[in-house]
Structure 1
Amino acid sequence: MGIISSSIARKVAMALSGLFLVLFLGQHFTINLTSTFSPETFNEFSHFMGTNFLVQAILQPVLIFGVVFHFVMGFILEARNRSARKVSYVSYKGNANSSWVSRNMIYTGIVVLAFLGLHFYDFWFPEIAYKYIEANPSDATRYYGELVEKFHSPVRTGLYVLSFVFLALHLYHGFASSFQSVGFNNKYARGLKKFAKVYAIAIPAGFIFIALFHHFNH
Protein backbone atom coordinates (compact mmCIF):
# COMPACT_ATOMS: atom_id res chain seq x y z
CA MET A 1 0.00 0.00 0.00
CA GLY A 2 1.27 3.54 0.85
CA ILE A 3 4.25 4.36 -1.35
CA ILE A 4 3.33 1.54 -3.73
CA SER A 5 -0.25 2.59 -4.43
CA SER A 6 -0.04 6.40 -4.30
CA SER A 7 1.70 8.25 -7.14
CA ILE A 8 2.28 11.34 -4.99
CA ALA A 9 3.68 9.31 -2.11
CA ARG A 10 6.00 7.45 -4.47
CA LYS A 11 7.36 10.74 -5.82
CA VAL A 12 7.85 12.12 -2.31
CA ALA A 13 9.62 8.95 -1.19
CA MET A 14 11.80 9.07 -4.29
CA ALA A 15 12.68 12.73 -3.64
CA LEU A 16 13.46 12.21 0.06
CA SER A 17 15.70 9.22 -0.61
CA GLY A 18 17.44 11.24 -3.32
CA LEU A 19 18.05 14.15 -0.97
CA PHE A 20 19.52 11.74 1.58
CA LEU A 21 21.92 10.36 -1.03
CA VAL A 22 22.87 13.88 -2.09
CA LEU A 23 23.91 14.63 1.51
CA PHE A 24 26.04 11.50 1.59
CA LEU A 25 27.60 12.47 -1.74
CA GLY A 26 28.67 15.82 -0.33
CA GLN A 27 30.19 14.17 2.75
CA HIS A 28 31.99 11.59 0.61
CA PHE A 29 33.37 14.34 -1.63
CA THR A 30 34.61 16.38 1.32
CA ILE A 31 36.61 13.45 2.67
CA ASN A 32 38.03 12.49 -0.73
CA LEU A 33 39.01 16.07 -1.49
CA THR A 34 41.39 16.11 1.49
CA SER A 35 43.45 13.45 -0.32
CA THR A 36 44.58 16.07 -2.83
CA PHE A 37 46.27 18.28 -0.25
CA SER A 38 46.68 16.28 2.98
CA PRO A 39 47.15 12.50 2.90
CA GLU A 40 47.31 12.49 6.70
CA THR A 41 43.89 14.15 7.03
CA PHE A 42 42.42 11.78 4.47
CA ASN A 43 43.79 8.81 6.40
CA GLU A 44 42.34 10.14 9.64
CA PHE A 45 38.88 10.67 8.17
CA SER A 46 38.91 7.32 6.38
CA HIS A 47 40.11 5.42 9.44
CA PHE A 48 37.36 6.99 11.53
CA MET A 49 34.70 6.11 8.96
CA GLY A 50 36.05 2.58 8.62
CA THR A 51 36.25 1.78 12.32
CA ASN A 52 33.53 3.83 14.02
CA PHE A 53 30.70 1.59 15.26
CA LEU A 54 27.95 4.11 14.55
CA VAL A 55 29.13 4.55 10.95
CA GLN A 56 29.67 0.86 10.28
CA ALA A 57 26.70 -0.67 12.09
CA ILE A 58 24.03 2.01 11.56
CA LEU A 59 24.84 4.63 8.95
CA GLN A 60 26.33 2.22 6.43
CA PRO A 61 23.28 -0.11 6.36
CA VAL A 62 21.02 2.95 6.13
CA LEU A 63 23.05 4.17 3.16
CA ILE A 64 22.78 0.81 1.40
CA PHE A 65 19.04 0.75 2.01
CA GLY A 66 18.76 4.34 0.70
CA VAL A 67 20.57 3.47 -2.53
CA VAL A 68 18.47 0.34 -3.15
CA PHE A 69 15.22 2.09 -2.21
CA HIS A 70 15.90 5.11 -4.42
CA PHE A 71 16.63 3.07 -7.51
CA VAL A 72 13.80 0.60 -6.94
CA MET A 73 11.38 3.52 -6.62
CA GLY A 74 12.87 5.00 -9.79
CA PHE A 75 12.16 1.83 -11.74
CA ILE A 76 8.64 1.64 -10.32
CA LEU A 77 7.89 5.25 -11.24
CA GLU A 78 9.28 4.76 -14.74
CA ALA A 79 7.17 1.63 -15.27
CA ARG A 80 4.01 3.35 -13.96
CA ASN A 81 4.62 6.43 -16.10
CA ARG A 82 5.10 4.36 -19.23
CA SER A 83 1.95 2.32 -18.63
CA ALA A 84 -0.13 5.42 -17.81
CA ARG A 85 0.98 7.46 -20.80
CA LYS A 86 -2.02 8.05 -23.05
CA VAL A 87 -0.24 9.69 -25.97
CA SER A 88 1.61 7.41 -28.37
CA TYR A 89 5.33 7.84 -28.96
CA VAL A 90 4.61 8.83 -32.56
CA SER A 91 2.73 11.96 -31.60
CA TYR A 92 4.54 12.63 -28.32
CA LYS A 93 6.90 15.54 -28.79
CA GLY A 94 9.29 15.07 -25.89
CA ASN A 95 11.68 17.79 -27.00
CA ALA A 96 8.91 20.38 -26.86
CA ASN A 97 7.74 19.43 -23.37
CA SER A 98 10.81 18.43 -21.40
CA SER A 99 14.59 18.34 -21.47
CA TRP A 100 16.63 15.38 -22.66
CA VAL A 101 17.88 14.81 -19.11
CA SER A 102 14.39 14.67 -17.59
CA ARG A 103 13.22 12.22 -20.28
CA ASN A 104 16.19 9.93 -19.74
CA MET A 105 16.54 9.88 -15.95
CA ILE A 106 16.06 6.12 -15.92
CA TYR A 107 19.04 5.61 -18.25
CA THR A 108 21.40 7.97 -16.47
CA GLY A 109 20.23 6.33 -13.25
CA ILE A 110 21.08 2.85 -14.58
CA VAL A 111 24.62 4.00 -15.43
CA VAL A 112 25.01 5.51 -11.95
CA LEU A 113 23.63 2.34 -10.35
CA ALA A 114 26.09 0.19 -12.31
CA PHE A 115 28.93 2.40 -11.15
CA LEU A 116 27.76 2.21 -7.54
CA GLY A 117 27.64 -1.56 -7.76
CA LEU A 118 31.22 -1.67 -9.02
CA HIS A 119 32.28 0.94 -6.48
CA PHE A 120 30.77 -1.03 -3.59
CA TYR A 121 32.38 -4.21 -4.89
CA ASP A 122 35.68 -2.42 -5.30
CA PHE A 123 35.52 -1.03 -1.76
CA TRP A 124 33.80 -3.62 0.41
CA PHE A 125 35.40 -6.78 -0.94
CA PRO A 126 38.96 -5.54 -0.29
CA GLU A 127 37.85 -4.16 3.10
CA ILE A 128 36.23 -7.46 4.10
CA ALA A 129 39.29 -9.39 2.92
CA TYR A 130 41.67 -7.05 4.75
CA LYS A 131 39.75 -6.99 8.04
CA TYR A 132 38.14 -10.40 8.34
CA ILE A 133 39.66 -12.91 5.91
CA GLU A 134 43.31 -11.91 6.13
CA ALA A 135 42.76 -10.58 9.69
CA ASN A 136 45.31 -7.82 9.21
CA PRO A 137 46.01 -5.47 12.11
CA SER A 138 44.42 -2.06 11.99
CA ASP A 139 46.48 0.38 9.92
CA ALA A 140 45.36 4.00 10.04
CA THR A 141 47.82 5.01 7.28
CA ARG A 142 46.80 2.59 4.51
CA TYR A 143 43.83 4.46 3.02
CA TYR A 144 45.67 7.11 1.01
CA GLY A 145 47.88 4.57 -0.73
CA GLU A 146 44.87 2.41 -1.56
CA LEU A 147 43.02 5.39 -3.02
CA VAL A 148 45.94 6.45 -5.20
CA GLU A 149 46.36 2.89 -6.47
CA LYS A 150 42.74 2.83 -7.67
CA PHE A 151 43.48 5.67 -10.11
CA HIS A 152 46.67 4.20 -11.53
CA SER A 153 44.91 2.57 -14.49
CA PRO A 154 43.83 4.95 -17.28
CA VAL A 155 40.88 2.67 -18.14
CA ARG A 156 39.67 2.61 -14.56
CA THR A 157 40.10 6.38 -14.25
CA GLY A 158 38.29 6.98 -17.54
CA LEU A 159 35.30 4.87 -16.47
CA TYR A 160 35.25 6.72 -13.15
CA VAL A 161 35.20 10.08 -14.93
CA LEU A 162 32.47 8.95 -17.33
CA SER A 163 30.28 7.70 -14.51
CA PHE A 164 30.43 11.09 -12.81
CA VAL A 165 29.45 12.82 -16.04
CA PHE A 166 26.30 10.69 -16.00
CA LEU A 167 25.81 11.41 -12.31
CA ALA A 168 25.94 15.15 -13.08
CA LEU A 169 23.24 14.70 -15.73
CA HIS A 170 21.13 12.68 -13.31
CA LEU A 171 21.52 15.19 -10.49
CA TYR A 172 20.95 18.24 -12.70
CA HIS A 173 17.30 17.36 -13.08
CA GLY A 174 16.72 15.10 -10.09
CA PHE A 175 18.12 17.26 -7.30
CA ALA A 176 16.32 20.41 -8.44
CA SER A 177 12.98 18.64 -9.00
CA SER A 178 13.12 16.90 -5.61
CA PHE A 179 12.24 20.15 -3.83
CA GLN A 180 9.08 20.46 -5.90
CA SER A 181 8.21 16.81 -5.25
CA VAL A 182 8.25 17.32 -1.48
CA GLY A 183 6.07 20.42 -1.81
CA PHE A 184 8.73 23.03 -1.19
CA ASN A 185 7.27 26.00 -3.04
CA ASN A 186 7.93 29.28 -1.29
CA LYS A 187 10.11 32.34 -1.85
CA TYR A 188 13.25 30.28 -1.36
CA ALA A 189 12.35 27.63 -3.94
CA ARG A 190 13.95 29.42 -6.88
CA GLY A 191 17.21 29.93 -5.01
CA LEU A 192 17.27 26.30 -3.90
CA LYS A 193 16.79 25.10 -7.45
CA LYS A 194 19.69 27.26 -8.61
CA PHE A 195 21.82 25.87 -5.79
CA ALA A 196 20.81 22.33 -6.75
CA LYS A 197 21.89 22.84 -10.36
CA VAL A 198 25.25 24.30 -9.30
CA TYR A 199 25.72 21.42 -6.85
CA ALA A 200 24.84 18.90 -9.56
CA ILE A 201 27.72 20.15 -11.68
CA ALA A 202 30.26 21.13 -9.02
CA ILE A 203 30.30 17.94 -6.94
CA PRO A 204 30.70 15.47 -9.83
CA ALA A 205 33.30 17.82 -11.34
CA GLY A 206 35.09 17.73 -8.00
CA PHE A 207 35.17 13.94 -7.99
CA ILE A 208 36.51 14.01 -11.56
CA PHE A 209 39.23 16.45 -10.47
CA ILE A 210 40.25 14.12 -7.62
CA ALA A 211 40.49 11.13 -9.97
CA LEU A 212 42.54 13.01 -12.58
CA PHE A 213 44.73 14.59 -9.90
CA HIS A 214 45.81 11.23 -8.52
CA HIS A 215 46.06 9.63 -11.94
CA PHE A 216 48.47 12.23 -13.32
CA ASN A 217 50.40 12.93 -10.13
CA HIS A 218 51.11 9.39 -9.01
Structure 2
Amino acid sequence: MGGLIKSSIARKVAMALSGLFLVFFLLQHFTINFTSIFSADTFNELSHFMGTNPVVQFALQPVLIFGVVFHFVMGFVLEIKNKNARAVKYAKYNGGANASWMSRNMIYSGLVILAFLGLHFYDFWIPEMVHKYVEFAPEDPTRYYHELLEKFVSPVRTGLYVVSFVFLALHLWHGFASSFQSVGFNNKYSVGLTKFAKAFAIVIPLGFIIISLVLHFNHNH
Protein backbone atom coordinates (compact mmCIF):
# COMPACT_ATOMS: atom_id res chain seq x y z
CA MET A 1 0.00 0.00 0.00
CA GLY A 2 2.85 2.35 0.86
CA GLY A 3 4.43 1.77 -2.53
CA LEU A 4 1.13 2.40 -4.27
CA ILE A 5 0.63 5.71 -2.45
CA LYS A 6 4.18 6.77 -3.29
CA SER A 7 3.81 6.00 -6.99
CA SER A 8 3.24 8.85 -9.44
CA ILE A 9 0.30 7.04 -11.04
CA ALA A 10 -1.43 6.61 -7.67
CA ARG A 11 -0.94 10.29 -6.86
CA LYS A 12 -2.41 11.35 -10.20
CA VAL A 13 -5.40 9.04 -9.80
CA ALA A 14 -6.01 10.29 -6.25
CA MET A 15 -5.78 13.88 -7.47
CA ALA A 16 -8.20 13.18 -10.32
CA LEU A 17 -10.76 11.38 -8.15
CA SER A 18 -10.76 14.12 -5.53
CA GLY A 19 -11.12 16.69 -8.33
CA LEU A 20 -14.08 14.85 -9.85
CA PHE A 21 -15.71 14.72 -6.43
CA LEU A 22 -15.27 18.48 -6.03
CA VAL A 23 -16.68 19.07 -9.52
CA PHE A 24 -19.83 17.21 -8.50
CA PHE A 25 -20.13 19.40 -5.41
CA LEU A 26 -19.50 22.49 -7.52
CA LEU A 27 -22.41 21.61 -9.80
CA GLN A 28 -24.70 21.06 -6.82
CA HIS A 29 -23.56 24.34 -5.24
CA PHE A 30 -24.13 26.18 -8.51
CA THR A 31 -27.63 24.73 -8.95
CA ILE A 32 -28.74 25.97 -5.53
CA ASN A 33 -27.13 29.39 -5.91
CA PHE A 34 -28.53 29.89 -9.40
CA THR A 35 -32.07 29.81 -7.98
CA SER A 36 -31.23 32.98 -6.02
CA ILE A 37 -31.38 35.13 -9.15
CA PHE A 38 -35.00 34.31 -9.97
CA SER A 39 -36.63 33.05 -6.74
CA ALA A 40 -35.66 34.07 -3.21
CA ASP A 41 -38.19 31.61 -1.80
CA THR A 42 -36.73 28.65 -3.70
CA PHE A 43 -33.22 29.61 -2.64
CA ASN A 44 -34.35 29.89 0.99
CA GLU A 45 -36.05 26.49 0.87
CA LEU A 46 -33.05 24.72 -0.63
CA SER A 47 -30.59 26.47 1.68
CA HIS A 48 -32.70 25.69 4.72
CA PHE A 49 -32.80 22.01 3.74
CA MET A 50 -29.03 21.88 3.21
CA GLY A 51 -28.38 23.80 6.42
CA THR A 52 -30.58 21.67 8.67
CA ASN A 53 -30.43 18.18 7.15
CA PRO A 54 -28.30 16.03 9.51
CA VAL A 55 -26.93 13.86 6.68
CA VAL A 56 -25.68 16.95 4.86
CA GLN A 57 -24.35 18.65 7.98
CA PHE A 58 -22.69 15.75 9.79
CA ALA A 59 -21.81 13.33 6.99
CA LEU A 60 -21.48 15.07 3.62
CA GLN A 61 -20.05 18.34 4.90
CA PRO A 62 -17.06 16.75 6.68
CA VAL A 63 -16.41 14.60 3.61
CA LEU A 64 -16.47 17.72 1.44
CA ILE A 65 -14.02 19.56 3.70
CA PHE A 66 -11.72 16.53 3.67
CA GLY A 67 -12.00 16.41 -0.14
CA VAL A 68 -11.00 20.06 -0.48
CA VAL A 69 -8.00 19.68 1.86
CA PHE A 70 -6.93 16.41 0.22
CA HIS A 71 -7.14 17.85 -3.30
CA PHE A 72 -4.99 20.86 -2.48
CA VAL A 73 -2.45 18.84 -0.47
CA MET A 74 -2.12 16.39 -3.36
CA GLY A 75 -1.75 19.34 -5.73
CA PHE A 76 1.21 20.67 -3.77
CA VAL A 77 2.75 17.19 -3.51
CA LEU A 78 2.46 16.67 -7.27
CA GLU A 79 3.93 20.09 -7.99
CA ILE A 80 6.94 19.42 -5.76
CA LYS A 81 7.46 15.93 -7.18
CA ASN A 82 7.20 17.19 -10.76
CA LYS A 83 9.69 19.99 -10.16
CA ASN A 84 12.15 17.60 -8.54
CA ALA A 85 11.77 15.15 -11.43
CA ARG A 86 12.39 17.88 -14.00
CA ALA A 87 15.42 19.16 -12.11
CA VAL A 88 16.98 15.70 -12.09
CA LYS A 89 16.03 14.38 -15.53
CA TYR A 90 15.92 17.45 -17.75
CA ALA A 91 18.74 19.93 -17.54
CA LYS A 92 17.19 21.82 -20.45
CA TYR A 93 13.52 21.16 -19.77
CA ASN A 94 11.28 23.10 -22.11
CA GLY A 95 7.85 23.11 -20.49
CA GLY A 96 6.16 24.85 -23.37
CA ALA A 97 7.15 22.09 -25.76
CA ASN A 98 5.63 19.38 -23.60
CA ALA A 99 2.52 20.85 -22.01
CA SER A 100 0.12 23.76 -22.27
CA TRP A 101 0.64 26.93 -20.25
CA MET A 102 -2.37 26.12 -18.10
CA SER A 103 -1.22 22.61 -17.28
CA ARG A 104 2.17 23.99 -16.21
CA ASN A 105 0.59 26.62 -13.96
CA MET A 106 -2.21 24.70 -12.27
CA ILE A 107 -0.58 25.37 -8.90
CA TYR A 108 -1.05 29.14 -9.32
CA SER A 109 -4.69 29.01 -10.33
CA GLY A 110 -5.13 26.54 -7.47
CA LEU A 111 -3.61 28.99 -5.00
CA VAL A 112 -6.02 31.70 -6.12
CA ILE A 113 -8.94 29.30 -5.70
CA LEU A 114 -7.63 28.33 -2.26
CA ALA A 115 -7.55 32.01 -1.28
CA PHE A 116 -11.08 32.37 -2.63
CA LEU A 117 -12.24 29.40 -0.55
CA GLY A 118 -10.80 31.14 2.50
CA LEU A 119 -12.88 34.22 1.69
CA HIS A 120 -15.93 32.07 0.98
CA PHE A 121 -15.61 30.24 4.30
CA TYR A 122 -15.20 33.58 6.07
CA ASP A 123 -18.29 34.96 4.34
CA PHE A 124 -20.63 32.00 4.67
CA TRP A 125 -19.47 28.88 6.50
CA ILE A 126 -18.05 30.51 9.64
CA PRO A 127 -21.07 32.83 10.17
CA GLU A 128 -23.36 29.82 9.68
CA MET A 129 -21.47 27.80 12.31
CA VAL A 130 -21.55 30.74 14.72
CA HIS A 131 -25.27 31.29 14.11
CA LYS A 132 -26.16 27.66 14.81
CA TYR A 133 -23.60 26.36 17.29
CA VAL A 134 -22.23 29.42 19.13
CA GLU A 135 -25.11 31.87 19.36
CA PHE A 136 -27.75 29.11 19.17
CA ALA A 137 -29.95 31.60 17.33
CA PRO A 138 -33.52 30.54 16.52
CA GLU A 139 -33.85 29.05 13.06
CA ASP A 140 -35.29 31.35 10.40
CA PRO A 141 -35.99 29.57 7.08
CA THR A 142 -36.28 32.91 5.27
CA ARG A 143 -32.91 34.40 6.28
CA TYR A 144 -30.65 32.84 3.65
CA TYR A 145 -31.39 35.03 0.63
CA HIS A 146 -30.98 38.25 2.59
CA GLU A 147 -27.68 37.05 4.04
CA LEU A 148 -26.47 36.10 0.57
CA LEU A 149 -27.47 39.47 -0.84
CA GLU A 150 -25.58 41.32 1.89
CA LYS A 151 -22.32 39.66 0.88
CA PHE A 152 -22.44 41.28 -2.56
CA VAL A 153 -23.06 44.88 -1.51
CA SER A 154 -19.42 45.87 -1.96
CA PRO A 155 -18.19 46.20 -5.56
CA VAL A 156 -14.71 45.24 -4.33
CA ARG A 157 -15.88 41.98 -2.81
CA THR A 158 -18.05 41.25 -5.84
CA GLY A 159 -15.02 41.90 -8.02
CA LEU A 160 -12.93 39.46 -5.97
CA TYR A 161 -15.55 36.79 -6.51
CA VAL A 162 -15.63 37.46 -10.25
CA VAL A 163 -11.83 37.26 -10.56
CA SER A 164 -11.82 34.04 -8.51
CA PHE A 165 -14.35 32.45 -10.85
CA VAL A 166 -12.18 33.38 -13.84
CA PHE A 167 -9.31 31.48 -12.22
CA LEU A 168 -11.68 28.63 -11.45
CA ALA A 169 -12.48 28.44 -15.17
CA LEU A 170 -8.77 28.32 -16.03
CA HIS A 171 -8.19 25.60 -13.44
CA LEU A 172 -11.12 23.52 -14.65
CA TRP A 173 -10.17 23.98 -18.31
CA HIS A 174 -7.17 21.72 -17.87
CA GLY A 175 -7.93 19.90 -14.61
CA PHE A 176 -11.41 18.57 -15.34
CA ALA A 177 -10.53 17.24 -18.78
CA SER A 178 -7.25 15.65 -17.68
CA SER A 179 -8.93 13.96 -14.69
CA PHE A 180 -10.78 11.63 -17.05
CA GLN A 181 -7.50 10.52 -18.61
CA SER A 182 -5.93 10.04 -15.18
CA VAL A 183 -8.63 7.58 -14.12
CA GLY A 184 -8.43 5.64 -17.38
CA PHE A 185 -11.14 7.02 -19.67
CA ASN A 186 -8.95 6.71 -22.77
CA ASN A 187 -11.53 5.18 -25.08
CA LYS A 188 -14.08 6.13 -27.74
CA TYR A 189 -15.80 8.45 -25.27
CA SER A 190 -12.65 10.49 -24.57
CA VAL A 191 -13.35 13.19 -27.17
CA GLY A 192 -16.90 13.68 -25.95
CA LEU A 193 -15.83 13.78 -22.30
CA THR A 194 -13.15 16.34 -23.09
CA LYS A 195 -15.64 18.57 -24.90
CA PHE A 196 -18.06 18.24 -21.98
CA ALA A 197 -15.29 19.15 -19.52
CA LYS A 198 -14.27 22.22 -21.53
CA ALA A 199 -17.89 23.38 -21.77
CA PHE A 200 -18.34 22.83 -18.03
CA ALA A 201 -15.17 24.85 -17.36
CA ILE A 202 -16.74 27.83 -19.14
CA VAL A 203 -20.44 27.56 -18.30
CA ILE A 204 -20.29 26.95 -14.54
CA PRO A 205 -17.77 29.70 -13.61
CA LEU A 206 -19.60 32.07 -15.98
CA GLY A 207 -22.84 31.18 -14.23
CA PHE A 208 -21.28 32.00 -10.85
CA ILE A 209 -20.08 35.33 -12.24
CA ILE A 210 -23.59 36.13 -13.45
CA ILE A 211 -25.01 35.25 -10.02
CA SER A 212 -22.49 37.53 -8.30
CA LEU A 213 -23.24 40.47 -10.59
CA VAL A 214 -27.02 40.02 -10.46
CA LEU A 215 -26.97 39.92 -6.65
CA HIS A 216 -24.74 42.98 -6.53
CA PHE A 217 -26.94 45.06 -8.80
CA ASN A 218 -30.16 43.77 -7.24
CA HIS A 219 -29.00 44.98 -3.85
CA ASN A 220 -28.05 48.36 -5.22
CA HIS A 221 -31.40 48.84 -6.88
TM-score (norm 1): 0.96
- Cα offset for 1:2? 4.9
Q: Which moved more, 1:165-174 or 1:91-100?
A: 91-100
Q: Shift in Å at residue 121 of structure 1?
A: 2.3
C-alpha deviation, 1:124, in angstroms: 2.1
Structure 2 match to 1:209: 210
Tell me the equivalent position of 1:138: 139
- Counterpart of 1:67 in structure 2 is 68
Report if aligned partners of 1:3, 1:13 keep a CA contact under 8 Å in 2: no
The alpha carbon displacement at 1:3 in A equals 5.3
Note if 1:101 corresponds to 2:120. Answer: no
Match of 2:10 in 1: 9
Q: Distance in 2 between matches of 1:104 and 1:163?
A: 15
Q: Secondary structure at the match of 1:4?
A: helix
1:87 aligned partner? 90
3-state SS of 2:153 partner = coil
Runs of 4 or more above 2 Å deviation: 91-97
Q: CA 1:201/1:58 → structure 2, altered by over 3 Å: closer, same or farther?
A: same
Q: Secondary structure at the match of 1:140?
A: coil
What is the number of residues matched between the two proteins?
A: 216
- Give the aligned partner of residue 175 of structure 1: 176
Q: Partner letter of residue 215 of structure 1?
A: H
- Indicate if the aligned counterparts of 2:123 and 2:151 stay in contact, CA closer than 8 A: no
Hey, what's the Cα distance between the residues in 2 that align with 1:2 and 1:165? 37
Deviation (angstroms), 1:67: 0.3
Counterpart-to-counterpart distance in 1, 2:45 and 2:148: 14
Show the counterpart of 2:123.
Answer: 122
Identity %: 75
Answer yes or no: is the 8 Å Cα contact 1:21–1:66 preserved in 2.
yes
Task: Assess if the C-alpha contact under 8 Å between 2:44 and 2:141 holds in 1.
Answer: yes
Aligned ranges for residues 3-42 of structure 1 at < 5 Å?
4-42=5-43
Gaps of 5+ in 2: none
For 1:123 and 1:162, the matched residues in 2 are separated by 18
Q: Which moved more, 1:54-63 or 1:106-115?
A: 106-115
Superposed CA offset, 1:34-65 (max 9, x none) = 00001000000000000000000000000000
Distance 1:25 1:32 in 2: 10
**Per-residue deviation at 1:94?**
2.2
TM alignment of 1:131-170, pairs within 5 A: 131-170=132-171
SS at match of 2:26: helix
1:145-173 per-position Cα deviation (integer Å, ceiling 9, x unaligned): 00111000001000000001001000000
Q: Which amino acid aligns with 1:147?
A: L
Conserved 8 A contact 2:19-2:71: yes
Q: 1-side partners of 2:183 and 2:56: how far apart? A: 27
Residue identity opposite 1:87 in structure 2: Y
Conserved in 2, the CA contact under 8 Å of 1:2 and 1:9? Answer: no
Question: Using the alignment, how far apart are the partners of 1:77 and 1:43 within structure 2?
Answer: 40
In structure 2, distance between residues paired with 1:163 and 1:4:
32
* Matching of residues 180-195 of structure 1 within 5 Å: 180-195=181-196
* TM-score, normalization by structure 2: 0.95
